[in-house]
Amino acid sequence: MNSVTEFSPAKINLLLAVTGRRADGYHDLVSVVAPLDFGDELVAESCVRGAGPQFTLSCVQPEVPLDDSNLIFKAAQAFVLATGWGGGVHFKLTKRIPLGAGLGGGSSNAVAALRALHKISGGLLTTERLASVAATLGSDCALFLNPTPSLMRGRGEQIEGVSAAARTRLSGRRVLLFKPSFSINTAWAYQQMRQRATDYVPAESAEKQLAAWLAGSESAERLLANNMEGVAFDKFIALPVLLNKLRTQFGVEGRMSGSGSACFVFLAEGQASAPLVACIRTCWGAAAFAQETRLS
């Protein structure tokens, strides 16, 4: 196989409850995560290795790093470490997911690279080994190996698919994503939560809320919660102001995804998204990102 093309979806956190800091420095969480039909595209082309590097990356978007800080390279090196594979690959990334958004773009790209290398190399890893390699790259990477609505626990590496009944309340729902011109640094957000020590949600409360929703028949809107909004909204007041405006003016419910700065609202079938996009760009400027999509 000389070339592989992988879809690299974005994700949103419908429920995100950060429950406390762990001894290893990470945070424990309880989350319901849903991948989207919107995302990046990664093409991996095998090439003859010369004197240059084993892996190269190109992307026309200037903000995308093309050095070892990109998780695509980290994924490729992890694959080589796990398999000893010696082939060369050039990656071409079409980047649509905005950076610094809380939409999981970097993790999704890393897993797309792993899947592509696995196929190009002839399937050198078992499903279990592929999952363990993905887990070393980032807390939410495991989600993208099987991108369906899922429950996420631990530091994000414990993934469990939701029930079929719950999936029917999620899959296919229309979503409008939007992001201001600024990003929120994830490390900063967690540091602020540690310092404040008042934003954590008890694990028992989060699990109780989750269990009640899973056992019931309420819509996805009734699930929405994110306790990382506290530190983000206190500093970036434009986020809660716009979410409240969309709620009162258009009757839509939404949240910030992950540590932000991207937010989302659910749209009813037949509801026009253009007036909401116009409102978003009136409030946040013409450079604000907005994308209609659906939950996978």
Q: Which residue numbers are catalytic? A: 11, 140
Q: Quickly count: other Cβ atoms within 10 Å of residue 149's Cβ.
A: 23
Measuring CA to CA, which residue among 119, 118, 41, 137 is closest to residue 80? Answer: 118
Measuring CA to CA, which residue among 166, 129, 169 is closest to residue 145? Answer: 129
What phi and psi values does residue 55 have, to the nearest 5 degrees?
-130, 140
As a whole number of angstroms, the distance between CA 14 and CA 264 comes to 9
As a whole number of angstroms, the distance between CA 266 and CA 285 comes to 22
Residue identified by tokens 């499903």 is: 127
Q: Amino acid identity, residue 220? A: A
As a whole number of angstroms, the distance between CA 45 and CA 150 comes to 31
Measuring CA to CA, which residue among 162, 141, 140, 142 is closest to residue 151? Answer: 162
Omega cis (within 30) before 171:
no
